[in-house]
Structure 1
Amino acid sequence: MTTKNLIEDLRWRGLIHQTTDEAELSKLLQSEPQTIYIGFDPTASSLHVGHLMQVMMLRRFQQAGHRPIALVGGATGMIGDPSGKSEERNLLSPEQLQSNVDGVGKQMKQFLVFDGSSGAKLLNNFDWMQGYSYLEFLRDVGKNFPVGAMMGKESVRSRLESEAGLSYTEFSYMLLQAYDFVYLCREHNCRIQAGGSDQWGNITAGIDLGRRMLGKQLFGLTAPLLTTSDGRKMGKTEKGAIWLDPDRTSPYEFYQYWINVDDADVMRCIAYLTEIHRDEYDSLAEQTASDPGRRGAQKRLAQWMTELVHGAEGIASAQRATSILFGGEIEKATDAQLGQIFADVPSVETDRSVLSGEGWWIVEALQKSSLVKSSSEARRSIKEGSVYLNNRRVTDMDVRLTEADLASETVLVLRRGKKKYALIRFTTNR
């Protein structure tokens, strides 16, 4: 992708929300490869779906031949950005902060290439802030920062007017982020900062500080926030954030999140988050408008995003789990996978010893699971062909269940009809 194509691509995707000087920025990008940075606050040891907008922005610039810098805020993370927040964050311990920095840094390497002529850089602003004394910072940076300009920023003004107010600690955040831009320009020739639309005040503060301290013109670019059509932030469920760490959000749960995106939001998600080309995008948009029941756009979005974040193995696992949910035969599953797939399905426990010897009569198992109320109802259901063991139809009412029938290490899945599921978990009493 060329720089010209990059700007056009960002525009049709709706990813250009604000720029400081679009004409000059376009000229700069076409003159020679540039360095662009985006900051990430290490508030957790994993990135989540909300971060993907900015991760993909860096990725798009790199694919157009520019050098991205992913800046992890080991220093700014000690304070917390007040932008878009209604109250002050809890401060993290140095140990927790370092763990978060390490986790976020590791994940960045999944999405960006860190070698070659346009190889990405992963930096931590704690490295240049840790030796800066308070007095030195005030002399070098503070004197170049007009308080009136800071008070005029929406992120500051809204918090000052809120019930929670704004502490001096958070008020100082803007100075630190602005100085990051100056440092990166001076040390890495970085003249462009990007971010979400809530970062506009911080970005323009850095541009002004760069002009005052370095006498250079710097540039800013923001993208819209990832929200639903009714204004809610995307990437959250009733269980919490959708994380990129598979130990926090499994590939199956990640895949299901995108499969269930609303029709009103799916095409915007595809434009914002994927690298799907315009012709395929138009085809999916037409399909969604004419036949939304097929959920073709959602399936393509889920497949693309899950493969990006979790790789080929992750998407295969997620699709296999989805097949199980819709009646596919269950084999080679784990307790954890079945727990995720059937999270809302009733389960009962019984002693594993019932599976030994001659085994456990299927009729008794159905009664234990509460899928039927009596043995006669169990027999009738089997005769009608509506009973399934691990999603395989049971046709013999004399079947005896043994350990060979387990769907995973300790779980057996029973189904009656199309949708009535029950899990039986086998425990060992010693």
Structure 2
Amino acid sequence: MIKKNKTNILKKLKDRNILYQITNQNKLFTILSQQNINLYCGFDLTADSLHIGHLIQLFTLKYFQELGHKPIILLGGATSLIGDPSFKLKERKMNSIDIINIWFHKISIQIKKILDFNCGKNSAIIVNNYNWFYKTNILFFLEKIGKYFYINHMMNKDSIKNRMINNEINGISFAEFSYTLLQSYDFAYLNKNFDVILQLGGSDQWGNITSGIDLIKKMYKKKVFGITTNLIVKNDGTKFGKTEKKTIWLDKNKTSPYEFFQFWLNIPDSLIFKFLYMFTNLELEIINDFKKKKNDIKKNSPQYLLAEYMTKIVHGEHNLVLSKKITNILFYKNIKNLSQNDFSILLNSINNIVINNKEFSLQKILILSKFASSHTQASKLIKSNSIYINNEQISKTSFIFTKYHKKFKHFTLLRKGKKNFCLIYWK
């Protein structure tokens, strides 16, 4: 007798505002309630790190794994050489296979922090589509795969149509145009060799996913399924995961654990509960109760709860404790009470510059710290009362550092606005 799974994973994803689109929901629900399945999600290797925009897919895979299903992560060593044109205005910069292999290793380490790779039958695995594409014969591919795809149908896909409209000069390359075939074959390959019946992706992957479903139906006469997750956007409609200045990476060398912690701590009130639903596994009742409470103290805020949760799962307990300590030093401690050890912690954790112990103008320091790109911009920042030295506001453009400004003879805390810090270490 088949033991039924009491948890409705599809309802759970919908309640948490994660589920966006699904194929044949009733049939998939029946299968998921009666048996464990293999499912996959693919990530192309376009950088040496994933960013927080990728976390929803990883957390969704984790929900499935916790119910006994087996997640497979496909890292696109081959498809990364082509580039997905979906909703991109121009062709991606192409990278060498050697660079992509290095990125494969780095991203694999990040994924292993989130999914369980040692839990028996449903242990997660990572595969690289370069392993089957590099030995695929072009004639085989055109005969066995290409014959199932029709140009007029592909041209009507939004991902292709938008590219043609927005790039009238060059349009789209044949390589990028063929990307859908490659991703579709990924699904077919995993279905045949790993018994995968469900593909997961972001909402921008719907066209590629349904193409894979159609290919498997034509090639193997099998029924498979697809799910997409909601695209995470900010209030202004821009993609979540990227700020005006930089992307929030999972790699601590690209985005420090402190910066990561601060990012979540500063999620606006209008988005915080939505993100608690989507990014955490807290019970919905707990989050709903939190909504009813008014927390004026930052450390009791839903933002603080989210920052703690996300930093711990991505960077671990040690980096969470360190990030909270840095936050306390910068925002809650009086500069006069900071110890030499406090400054040493900051030196290893936040943006810093090391310079010779001689006279430097504030304008020059602002350029070195990258708070300003020129003397003109530096002067404007100072005149606008945006610059602080050891938490004292500076309004003179002619300001010169003296030994008075060097704590323990070596440290000066520079601040732009309320939240941008740089520690100066004087040799």
| TM-score (norm: length of structure 2) | 0.81
What pairs up with 1:1-12 in 2 under 5 angstroms? 2=5, 4-12=7-15
* Distance in 2 of aligned mates of 1:419 and 1:98: 37
- Runs of 4+ residues deviating >6 angstroms: 388-391, 418-422
5 Å-filtered alignment, 1:64-75, equals 64-75=67-78
2:341 to 332, 338, 344: 332
Three-state SS of the structure 2 residue aligned to 1:267 is helix
Q: How many residues align?
A: 379
The residue number in structure 1 matching 2:95 is 92
Q: Quote how far apart the aligned CAs of 1:144 are.
A: 1.5
Q: Which amino acid aligns with 1:54?
A: Q
Cα distance between partner residues in 2 of 1:73 and 1:334: 43
Could you say which residue in structure 2 is the equivalent of 1:154?
A: 158
Cα displacement (A) at 1:330: 4.5
Give the residue type in structure 2 aligned to 1:226. I
Which of 167, 170, 179 pairs up with 1:173?
179
Local SS of the residue matching 2:282: coil
Equivalent residues of 2:326, 2:345 under 8 A apart: no
Q: Secondary structure of 1:178's partner?
A: helix
Q: Secondary structure at the match of 1:280?
A: helix
State the partner residue of 2:135. 131
Query: Aligned partners of 1:348, 1:424: CA distance in 2, in Å?
Result: 6
* TM-superposed deviation, 1:125: 0.5
Residues 2 and 65, structure 1, Cα contact 8 Å, conserved in 2: no
Contact 1:324 1:330 (8 Å CA) reproduced: no
Shift of 1:423: 5.5
- Structure 1 residues 136 and 252: alpha-carbon distance in aligned structure 2, compared to 1, 3 A threshold: same
Shift of 1:286: 2.3
Within a 5 Å distance, the mapping from 1:177-216 to structure 2 comes to: 177-216=183-222
Question: For residue 39 of structure 1, what is the aligned residue in structure 2?
Answer: 42
**CA, structure 1 residues 162+190, in 2 after alignment: closer, same or farther (shift >3 Å)?**
same
AA aligned to 2:426 is F
Kindly provide the CA deviation profile for residues 48-96 of structure 1, in whole angstroms up to 9, marking residues without a partner as x. 1111111111111101110000100001000011112111101111111
Tell me, in whole angstroms, the C-alpha distance in 1 between the residues paired with 2:220 and 2:349: 54
Question: Partner letter of residue 249 of structure 1?
Answer: T
Q: Residue 290 of structure 2: SS of its match in structure 1?
A: helix
- Tell me, what secondary structure is at the counterpart of 1:17? strand
Cross-structure match for 2:324: 319
Question: Structure 2 CA distance, aligned partners of 1:82 and 1:349?
Answer: 45
TM-score by length of 1: 0.80
Q: Say whether the 8 Å CA contact 1:69–1:121 is kept in structure 2.
A: yes
Larger Rg: 1
Task: Identify the residue that residue 251 of structure 1 maps to in structure 2.
Answer: 257
Instruction: Give the equivalent residue in structure 1 for 2:377.
Output: none
Please give the secondary structure, in 1, of the residue aligned with 2:121: coil
Letter in 2 for 1:39: G
Q: Is the alpha carbon distance of 1:332 and 1:16 closer, same or farther for their aligned partners in structure 2, counting shifts above 3 Å?
A: same
Q: Could you tell me whether the CA contact under 8 Å between 2:329 and 2:342 is conserved in 1? A: no
Judging changes above 3 Å, is the alpha-carbon distance between structure 1 residues 143 and 292 closer, same or farther for their aligned structure 2 residues?
A: farther
CA contact (8 A) 1:42 1:72 kept: yes
Please give the secondary structure, in 1, of the residue aligned with 2:166: coil
Q: What is the correspondence of 1:28-427 to structure 2 with a 5 Å cutoff? A: 28-115=31-118, 116-163=120-167, 165-287=171-293, 290-291=294-295, 294=298, 296-328=301-333, 329-333=338-342, 337-338=346-347, 341=350, 351=357, 405=408, 410-413=410-413, 425-427=425-427
Q: What's the C-alpha RMSD, in Å, of the aligned pairs?
A: 3.3
Q: CA 1:31–1:348 in 2, change beyond 3 Å: closer, same or farther?
A: closer
Contact 2:350 2:421 in 1 (8 A): no
Name the SS for the 1:257 alignment partner.
Answer: helix
Measure the CA separation in 2 of the matches of 1:421 and 1:49.
Answer: 23
Equivalent residues of 1:3, 1:65 under 8 A apart:
no
Which amino acid letter does the alignment assign opposite residue 145 of structure 2? V
Aligned to 2:126, the other structure's residue is in SS state strand
User: Using the alignment, how far apart are the partners of 2:420 and 2:121 within structure 1?
Assistant: 57
Measured in 2, the distance between the counterparts of 1:133 and 1:229 equals 47
Which ranges of structure 2 fall in alignment gaps of 5 or more residues? 360-364, 366-388, 393-402
Aligned mates of 1:304, 1:420 — CA distance in 2: 23
